[in-house]
């Protein structure tokens, strides 16, 4: 991707949601540094166009609170451990981006002043206005909420025009594409359809919050090189979730 080309400036400020799994590459656990660098490189290409970019990271490559709770751990404690895992990923991504010459700030919903700024909405917006990438970590700071919900909440707080969710499939399907080869991809999807059909966009709380605030969601495949740039620059990619009618993508 030629970073000198300007994206479609229908967006001025966006939020990118990265799952923890996107950092592990082909590994079963932990961080794949080559994958982290590849993600950082694509983010760099977007940032150099002048787009104001915030990022929310998950922690599933290190810790999954629901699974730990299923093994008998107290759910709230398990979720707090998961929030710490997102901070590890945020610091790794920050390091990769800063090695590429980008200015970044990590803000956490759980205060840990030795490694990151506390979450302060007005300060985050100011960082964005100054061209810094803001990485939000520690979810919402509360147990029982996913990082998808945290991503929508942060997007609304900073006035992002869209949220882009990176996945390992091409968008949202009417069935699980990993199990059903006949699954059909949505080009466009209505919030209500996503909720009523239980489609794997985000959890119900995140979708409802997006719907209430008329915040569009783009769901795209991060494993395809160049897709981060496309999703954040307004090019057609993946599935867009809005108030409009649901449309199946052409075969």
What is the Cα–Cα distance from 135 to 128, expressed in whole angstroms? 11
Q: How far out from the chain centre does Cα 162 lie?
A: 11
Task: Check residue 9 and give its pLDDT.
Answer: 56
What is the Cα–Cα distance from 31 to 24, expressed in whole angstroms? 5
Widest CA span in the chain: 52
In whole angstroms, how far apart are CA 216 and each of 66, 96, 208? 27, 28, 11
| Nearest CA-CA partner of 21 in 167, 147, 165 | 167
Task: Check residue 65 and give its pLDDT.
Answer: 77
- 79: tokens are 């979720």
Task: Check residue 251 and give its pLDDT.
Answer: 65
Point out the residues of the chain with pLDDT beneath 70. 1-9, 251
Do strands 133-137 and 104-108 pair parallel, antiparallel, or not at all (unpaired)?
A: parallel
Task: Check residue 7 and give its pLDDT.
Answer: 43
What are the DSSP calls for 188-243, one per residue?
A: EEEHHHHHHTT-SSS-HHHHHHHHHTT--EEEEETTSTTHHHHHHHT---SEEEES
DSSP character at residue 104: E
Neighbours of 126 (CB within 10 A): 13
What is the Cα–Cα distance from 241 to 125, expressed in whole angstroms? 25
Q: What are the boundaries of each domain within the chain?
A: 13-248
User: Which of helix, strand or coil describes residue 165?
Assistant: strand
Task: Check residue 85 and give its pLDDT.
Answer: 95
| Start-end of H helices in the chain | 33-47, 65-70, 75-99, 121-129, 147-158, 191-196, 204-212, 227-233
Task: Check residue 4 and give its pLDDT.
Answer: 41
- Let me know: does 181 contact 189? Beta carbons within 8 Å: no
What is the Cα–Cα distance from 99 to 230, expressed in whole angstroms? 23
Question: Domain 13-248 classified CATH 3.90.650.10?
Answer: no
- 244: tokens are 């409009």
In whole angstroms, how far apart are CA 209 and each of 48, 148, 187, 239? 30, 11, 21, 18
Do strands 13-18 and 217-221 pair parallel, antiparallel, or not at all (unpaired)?
A: unpaired
Predicted structure pTM score: 0.92
In whole angstroms, how far apart are CA 121 and each of 26, 46, 116, 200, 249? 35, 23, 14, 29, 37
């Amino acid at each position: 991707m030629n970073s000198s080309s300007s994206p479609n400036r229908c967006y001025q400020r966006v939020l990118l949601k990265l799952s923890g799994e996107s950092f592990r590459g082909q590994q079963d656990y932990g961080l794949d540094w080559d994958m982290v660098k590849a993600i950082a490189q694509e983010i760099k290409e977007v940032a150099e166009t002048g787009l104001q970019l915030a990022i929310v990271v998950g922690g599933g490559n290190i810790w999954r609170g629901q699974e730990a709770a299923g093994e008998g751990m107290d759910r709230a404690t398990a979720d707090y451990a998961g929030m710490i895992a997102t901070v590890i990923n945020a610091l790794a991504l920050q390091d990769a981006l800063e090695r590429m010459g980008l200015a970044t700030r990590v803000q956490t919903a759980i205060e840990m002043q030795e490694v990151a700024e506390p979450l302060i909405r007005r300060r985050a917006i100011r960082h964005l206005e100054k061209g810094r990438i803001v990485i939000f970590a520690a979810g919402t700071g509360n147990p029982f909420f996913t990082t998808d919900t945290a991503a929508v909440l942060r997007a609304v707080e900073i006035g992002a025009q869209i949220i882009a969710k990176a996945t390992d499939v091409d968008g949202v399907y009417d069935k699980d594409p990993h199990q059903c080869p006949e699954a059909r991809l949505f080009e466009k999807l209505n919030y209500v359809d996503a909720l009523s059909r239980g489609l794997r966009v985000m959890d119900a709380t995140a979708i409802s919050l997006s719907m209430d605030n008329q915040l569009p969601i783009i769901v795209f495949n991060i494993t395809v090189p160049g897709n981060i740039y496309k999703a954040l620059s307004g090019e057609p990619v993946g599935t867009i979730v809005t108030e409009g009618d649901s449309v199946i993508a052409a075969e």
